[in-house]
Amino acid sequence: MSDPIFILGHKNPDADAICSAIAYEAYKHAIGETEYVAARCGNSNARIDAILEHFKVPLPRFIGDVTPRVENIMQSEVRSLSKNSTCAEALELIDKYDVRALPVVDDNGHLEGLISIFQLGEFFIPKPSEPIKMRRVHSCISAIIRSLRATVLHQDRSDQVEELFVRVGAMDIRTFDNNHKERGTSANSSIIVVGDRRDIQERCLQLGVRLLVITGSLEVDADIIERAKERNVSLIVSPYDSASTSWIIRTATHIDSLIDTEVKCFKAEDRIESVKRRIANSNASLYMVTNEDKALVGVFSKSDILRPSRTRIALVDHNELGQAVNGAKHVQITEILDHHRLGNIPTDQPILFINRPVGSTCSIIADLFRAQSLTPTPAMAGMMMSGIISDTLLLNSPTTTALESELLDWLSPIAGISAEKLAKLIFSSGSVIINHAPEEVVCSDCKRYSDGDISYSVSQIEELGFTNFWNHENALDLALEAYRKEEGLLFSFLLVTDINTQNSLLVVAGSDELKGQINYPLKGQNNIYDLAGIVSRKKQLIPYITTLLKTIGVVG
Ligand SMILES: [Mn+2]
């Protein structure tokens, strides 16, 4: 099955945001698009709980953040080496898994560095200016024996890691002698590779070289073996010719001296966006992901980072990034279904964008069901009725259109409940003010807006009467100002709507300049205004605030 596409309502979800996500999932599944999964990016509330409980629908899963992070793209099955691995082992793994680099870890899985094909290339590709380096082998005799699959005739201190220099004894014995003196490498750090040349073999034993390698699986005279033991010269027989043997001996070099220890490390929870910036000018073949204990937990390459995010989301009941799930900006938005003002939400691809000036997002979804001649299940009909009733205050809000009453008439018999009965259940589900602390009340259904450079928030709560509000007015006023400050907003508004009388009160936090321009009557203390006949945030209050901000000159 393909990756899920999450249907998400806005932050601080209201009933329409939750119900439309659930109903849209049902619609998508009904038309065969089963990868869609309803989700939410905020907590439920008493009203949402009452609706879901009545129709026995589970609360959608919580997804608070979709920001792409390193853990989403890293490879966690990591093939690594230890610093005692040989170049041959490193090259074999690099070739087998078709990678350019491998991490090097210690016995506890802690990162020690990186070995890349570049470092190995530098080691093996001859540099004529430094001939000694071309013969250097940093290893132990046992690793050389393993690499050559050599026959051992005598070995001494074969696990001791040492700096050795390899040379082929292909020349005449006189030249060999001179050569040996000139090279200046001591006998006990010399590896001599030779065929069945007795004179050279004998000279090596006299000199007491560290290792004598006889090539081509050639026979070694018994007395040479005896003398090797006497002189304690390690003596082995390689199945390869001299040229191949010399090359393979060099591949037995331990990788520890070649490891790049200056590697960039990242954490699994690092955001892809910040990682992109950090590696913009780096050409490393592989980046390491470690945990707090410096243990390696994954690796990734530059191409892993640059691939578009696989996370996809569909937005319902909002279209502004400031209201969307954290990280929405960095993932693919496949669809938007909404009934609010248009905010700024640029996309890379053309997308399905349905925005209708109707009473609720659930109205749009119910209309999609109807247009496709699909009958929702009773529970899904109940979800859509609930979104419509909640958002339009049972067809009383000025946002209500003819579509809503039409849809309620269609859905009611399917859901098996009248709109009036459901409205009663929804609106008497418990006061937000009574059930939550003031700081929760001010952000329970809070939406953020950006106009030009400024940001503000508008929260709305619906109550049966204003009694609860007046009992907590001071605490709510203080909580709203605290919220504004903490979020760094220019203003914060709290619209308290009385469902019974269809009137609202507005609590305002922000500068006195703005408050001075509000031409609604003050009620009670300084920060509370009487908004008679106002019930809709999107259709009545937001346009009013937009005009107000223009008047005081903070928005052009
Ligand atoms: Mn809505």
- Kindly report the backbone phi and psi dihedral angles of residue 36, in degrees, each rounded to the nearest multiple of 5, phi listed first: -80, 135
* CB neighbour list of residue 149: distance below 8 Å, 6 or more residues apart: 239
Is the Cβ–Cβ distance between 311 and 332 less than 8 Å? yes
Where residue 327 falls (left for φ over 0; alpha for ψ -120 to 50; beta otherwise) is left
- Bridge-partner residues for 62, per DSSP? 40
Give yes or no for a contact between 167 and 183, defined as CB atoms under 8 angstroms apart. Answer: yes
Q: How far apart are CA 534 and CA 503, in angstroms?
A: 6
Q: How far is the CA of 45 from the centre of ligand 1 (A)?
A: 15
Ligand 1 midpoint to CA 445 (Å): 11
Expressed in angstroms and rounded, the spacing between residue 436 Cα and the centre of ligand 1 is: 22
Predicted pLDDT of residue 1: 59
Q: What is the CATH number of domain 432-551?
A: 3.10.310.20
Residue entry with tokens 């300049």: 513
User: Which segments in the chain show pLDDT lower than 70?
Assistant: 1, 126, 182-184, 556
Nearest to 78 by CA among 307, 306, 290: 290
375 neighbors 414 (Cβ within 8 angstroms): yes
Name the residue among 295, 299, 419 with its Cα closest to residue 359: 419
* CA 16 – ligand 1 centroid, Å: 5
H-run or E-run covering 468: helix 467-471
Separation of CA 498 and ligand 1 centre (Å): 18
Q: Cα(190)–Cα(199) distance, rounded to whole angstroms?
A: 17
- How many of the other CB atoms lie within 10 Å of CB of 239? 13
Q: How far is the CA of 360 from the centre of ligand 1 (A)?
A: 5
pLDDT of residue 556: 63
In the reported structure, the alpha carbon of residue 456 is separated from the centroid of ligand 1 by a whole-number distance in angstroms of 19
Provide the 10 A C-beta neighbour count for residue 522.
Answer: 12
Q: Among residues 410, 415, 430, which one has the least CA distance to residue 499? A: 430
Cα-to-centroid distance, 341 and ligand 1 (Å): 11
- Report CA(488)–ligand 1 centroid distance (Å): 26
Structure-token pair, residue 539: 């259709």
Ligand 1 centroid distance, CA of 79 (Å): 50
Among candidate residues 441, 541, 514, the one with its CA nearest the CA of residue 482: 441
Superfamily of domain 5-67+310-427: inorganic pyrophosphatase (n-terminal core) (3.90.1640.10)
Distance from the alpha carbon of residue 361 to the mean position of ligand 1, in angstroms:
5
Q: CA triplet 85, 86, 87: central angle to 5 degrees?
A: 125
Write down the domain spans for the chain: 5-67+310-427, 87-258, 432-551
Q: What is the CATH number of domain 87-258?
A: 3.40.1390.20
| pLDDT at residue 198 in the model | 93
Lookup: tokens for 183: 């090279």
How far is the centre of ligand 1, averaged over its atoms, from the C-alpha of 317 (Å)?
Answer: 5
**Which residue from 276, 316, 289, 300 is spatially nearest to 20, judged by alpha carbons?**
316
Nearest residue to 406 via CA among 443, 453, 456, 358:
358
Looking at residue 490, what is its pLDDT? 93
The Å distance, Cα 339 to ligand 1 centre, comes to: 7
178 alpha carbon to ligand 1 midpoint, in Å?
Answer: 93
Helix axes 242-251, 141-148, angle to 10 degrees: 130
Q: What is the DSSP string of 230-270?
A: HHT-EEEE-SS-HHHHHHHHHHTSBGGGG-B----EE-TT-
Judged on CB neighbours under 10 Å (0-12, 13-18, 19+), 194 is buried
Distance 331 CA to ligand 1 centre (A): 23
Using an 8 Å Cβ cutoff, are 255 and 90 in contact?
yes
